[in-house]
Amino acid sequence: MSKVKHNDVRMMQARVDKYISQFEEGYFSPLSMIARFSEEVGELAREVNHYYGEKPKKDSEEENTIENELGDLFFVMLTFANSLNIDLAQAFDQSMTKIETRDKNRWTKIETERER
What pLDDT tens digit does each residue of the chain (116 aa) get?
A: 455 567 899 999 999 999 999 999 999 999 999 999 999 999 999 999 998 988 888 888 888 999 999 999 999 999 999 999 999 999 999 999 999 999 888 888 898 877 66
Give the whole-angstrom CA distance, residue 94 versus residue 88: 10
Total H helices, total E strands in the chain: 4, 0
Instruction: Say if residues 81 and 91 touch (Cβ distance below 8 Å).
Output: yes
Phi, psi dihedrals of residue 17, rounded to the nearest 5°: -60, -40
Per-residue buried b or exposed e for 25-59, using 16+ beta carbons within 10 Å of the residue's own CB: eebbeeeebeebeeebeeebebbeebeeeeeeeee
- The structure's pTM equals 0.82
